[in-house]
């Protein structure tokens, strides 16, 4: 009901349509306390209340509660916030959505440092994944190129997901909840998969028959 | 936007790779070939381009005055001492990067667009406001990098950012600066092939590391204006490649192998 959203203009305290003002105030208390380390005294945030016409009399209460918690409301926004501006929670939301398989996303480019692909299905990258770039996929990830960046696969589909690349030079990879670090560079096509609770890395030609064509 | 790009931004992400030196030398090379060139310093608050060109005493108005409307962009231009078709639009040292917006830069470049064949914008290090300001009016970009991992990693980031701003790969030119052929041959330094592989892009030119540049910079004369410098060849080749000529990249380093003999010769000439 109470949530924070990061937009390019700043942080928004987003309050969805509600019936009871006291649960909202309680929600604000809990939310701010859980993010205590994120805020400094006097930080400015914006407030957005869904259906604000209905709750117009409650807005002063919300503002004063936020101020008691040491934050300042700089603006009160109208309307409902479009999803397109939300950045910070995108990754987390995707995880919480569970099994939202939205097909395979195919990207034809070199993914460079600072760029990322976040998709709830499988991801195929035709090009290099450079150091500092990131793929977060609900399912499996295939990189037709050099893989030097961070790959997080199986966010939705779990440990069945795999990561395949023409060469794997990344120091780190994640499949579902398992994480692994790598010190060696693998210069040939390879597959990363989960075997008894840890990430294994194998030769593509040797492993393709056994691992995921079953 | 014209067919051939005319407004170039020189950027790198990392500092100290030679953006300003590259801008001044490329500008001089173009001007020597008869092109009308304007150099625009976008490093507001930390300006250097005027010093490298030896024009620091001639600046009356800066780009900040243009943005404020005190003078027009043409009035603020400073002509180079030797090259009559090379102009500088200097940055203010007292202003800050936040005092300018990308739109101001666009407007300023538009004002002088028709008077020049090439406009080179010297961007500050970093990817913040100053970077956005200098990229906004550009039609193409030079990304200067050195054969070091941090510089290449920053260049990769900058290429990614430029892609987000709508630059295509055929409008981004990678320049490998401060290249030491001897060290690369021994395997102590990344070779140009390694850099091309790491960035997954072709190089537009390789500039050998050279002491002449340091000497020339301190004199306030861009190195290419002196006779017989090693890096002159690289800049000429870069210009030819921008104009669409196919010049092999190894041609850039031909001057270096002769470097020892020609430096001996130049020693004799001086005496």
> How far does B258 lie from chain A, in Å, by closest CA?
37
pLDDT at site B153? 94
Judged by a CB distance cut-off of 8 A, whether residue B200 touches chain A is: yes
Give every strand in the sheet of A198-203, ordered side by side. A104-108, A122-126, A141-147, A163-168, A190-195, A198-203
Cβ-based neighbours of B161, under 8 Å, separated by 6 or more: A114, B127, B131
Span A8-66, pLDDT tens digits = 677 888 888 788 888 888 888 888 888 877 777 777 888 888 777 777 778 888 888 88
DSSP string over A2-65: EEEEEETTEEEEEE---S-HHHHHHHHHHHHHHTGGG--TT-EEEEEETTTTTTGGGHHHHHHH
CA angle, B255 then B36 then B83, to 5° = 65
Instruction: Please give the helix or strand (H or E) that residue B219 lies within, else none.
Output: helix B211-219
Residue A3: beta bridge partners? A14
pLDDT in tens, A116-158: 888 888 999 999 999 999 999 989 999 999 999 999 999 888 8
Contact (Cβ atoms closer than 8 angstroms) between residue A142 and residue A127: no
Q: Residue A85 and residue B174: Cα distance in Å, rounded?
A: 33
- pLDDT at residue A206, as a whole number: 64
Q: Give every strand in the sheet of A116-119, ordered side by side.
A: A116-119, A134-137, A150-153, A172-175, A178-181
Write out chain A residues lying below 8 Å of B163, CB-based: 109, 112, 115
The reply to whether residue A130 touches residue B156, judged by beta carbons under 8 angstroms, is yes
Q: What digits encode the pLDDT tens for the residues B67-102? A: 999 999 999 999 999 999 999 999 999 988 888 899
Best B127, B132, B157, B174 residue to mutate vs chain A (most A CBs within 10 Å): B157
Q: How far apart are CA B211 and CA B215, in angstroms?
A: 6
**Which of A110, A114, A128 lies at the smallest CB-CB distance from B157?**
A114
Of A95, A98, A93, the C-alpha closest to A83 is A93
Tell me if B160 and A112 make a contact (CB, 8 A cut-off).
yes
- Structure confidence by residue, pLDDT tens digits, B216-270: 988 899 999 988 888 999 999 999 999 989 999 988 887 665 555 555 565 565 5
B56 touches chain A (CB under 8 A): no
% of residues, chain B, pLDDT over 70: 93
Nearest CA of chain B to the CA of A127: how many Å? 9
B15 to chain A, any CB pair closer than 8 A? The answer is no
Give the pLDDT score at A80.
54
Give yes or no for B94 touching A (CB within 8 A): no
Does the distance separating the beta carbons of A112 and B157 come in below 8 Å? Answer: yes
State the Cα–Cα distance between residues A114 and A130, nearest whole angstrom.
Answer: 9
Structure tokens at B87: 């102009």
Residue whose structure tokens are 């692994």: A180
Residue that is written with structure tokens 């003078």 in the block? B71
pLDDT value at position B253?
85
């Amino acid at each position: 009901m109470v949530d924070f959203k990061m937009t390019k203009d700043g942080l928004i305290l987003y309050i969805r349509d509600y019936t009871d003002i006291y649960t909202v105030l309680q929600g604000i208390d809990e939310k701010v306390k859980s993010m205590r380390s994120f805020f400094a005294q006097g930080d400015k945030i914006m407030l957005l209340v869904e259906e604000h016409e209905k709750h117009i009399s409650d807005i002063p209460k919300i503002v004063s509660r936020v101020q008691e918690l040491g934050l300042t409301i700089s603006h009160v926004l109208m309307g409902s916030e479009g999803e397109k501006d939300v950045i910070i929670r995108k990754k987390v939301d995707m995880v919480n959505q569970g099994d939202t398989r939205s097909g395979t996303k195919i990207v034809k480019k070199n993914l460079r440092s600072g760029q990322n692909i976040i998709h709830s299905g499988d991801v195929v990258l035709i090009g290099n994944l450079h150091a500092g770039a990131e793929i977060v996929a609900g399912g499996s990830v295939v990189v037709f190129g050099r893989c030097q960046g961070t790959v997080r696969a199986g966010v939705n589909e779990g440990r069945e997901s795999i990561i395949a690349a023409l060469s794997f030079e990344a120091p780190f990879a994640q499949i579902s909840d398992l994480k692994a670090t790598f010190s060696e560079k693998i210069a040939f096509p390879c597959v990363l998969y989960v075997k008894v609770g840890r990430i294994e890395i194998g030769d593509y030609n040797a492993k393709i028959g056994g691992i995921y064509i079953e | 936007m014209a067919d051939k790009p005319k407004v170039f931004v020189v950027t790198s992400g990392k500092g100290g790779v030679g953006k300003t030196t590259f801008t001044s030398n490329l500008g001089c090379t173009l001007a020597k070939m008869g092109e009308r060139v304007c150099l625009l310093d976008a490093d507001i608050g930390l300006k250097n381009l005027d010093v490298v060109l030896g024009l620091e005493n001639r600046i009356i108005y800066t780009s900040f005055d243009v943005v404020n409307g005190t003078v027009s962009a043409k009035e603020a231009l400073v002509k180079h001492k030797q090259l009559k078709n090379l102009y500088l639009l200097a940055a203010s040292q007292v202003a800050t990067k936040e005092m300018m917006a990308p739109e101001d830069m666009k407007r300023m470049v538009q004002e002088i667009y028709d008077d020049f064949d090439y406009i080179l914008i010297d961007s500050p290090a970093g990817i913040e406001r100053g970077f956005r300001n200098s990229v906004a009016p550009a039609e193409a970009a030079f990304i200067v990098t050195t054969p070091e991992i941090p510089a290449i990693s920053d260049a990769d980031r900058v290429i990614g950012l430029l892609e987000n701003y709508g630059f295509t790969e055929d409008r981004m030119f990678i320049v490998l600066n401060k290249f030491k052929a001897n060290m690369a041959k021994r395997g102590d330094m990344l070779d140009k092939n390694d850099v091309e592989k790491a960035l997954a892009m072709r190089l537009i030119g390789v500039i050998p590391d050279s002491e002449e540049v340091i000497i020339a910079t301190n004199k306030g004369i861009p190195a290419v204006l002196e006779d017989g410098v090693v890096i002159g060849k690289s800049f000429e080749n870069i210009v030819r490649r921008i104009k669409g000529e196919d010049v092999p990249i190894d041609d850039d380093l031909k001057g270096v192998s002769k470097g020892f003999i020609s430096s001996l010769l130049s020693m004799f000439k001086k005496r």
